[in-house]
Amino acid sequence: MGKYLTIVLAMMVVTMAIAFISPLDGQIRQEPFYPLFWISVGGAIVIIIYNSYQNRKNQQELRRERRRKFKK
């Protein structure tokens, strides 16, 4: 995973915690921000799927290169 994607994923995890814990006083919220939590979960899922897509493309390219070298 790239360093930028890792940072964004870490921010998503922090946002999930902020949805349930108030950053001002550190207490658990009476009414959690469920939309904030679910948006963070969705963002994390998108980042993980995008990263796996990138890795798959890179592996396909590496396989193509190996096949080209093997044929020659």
Residues 6+ apart with CB under 8 A from 47: 5, 8, 9, 12
Q: Give the predicted TM-score (pTM) of the model.
A: 0.74
Residue 21 three-state SS = strand
Backbone conformation region of residue 26, classed left if phi is above 0, alpha if psi is from -120 to 50, else beta:
left
Query: What's residue 6's pLDDT?
Result: 87
Q: Does 70 have pLDDT greater than 80?
A: no
Q: Where are the domains of the chain?
A: 3-71
**pLDDT tens track for 6-53:** 898 899 999 999 999 988 888 898 888 899 999 999 999 999 999 999
Query: What's residue 69's pLDDT?
Result: 81
Confidence band, pLDDT 50/70/90 cuts, at residue 72: low
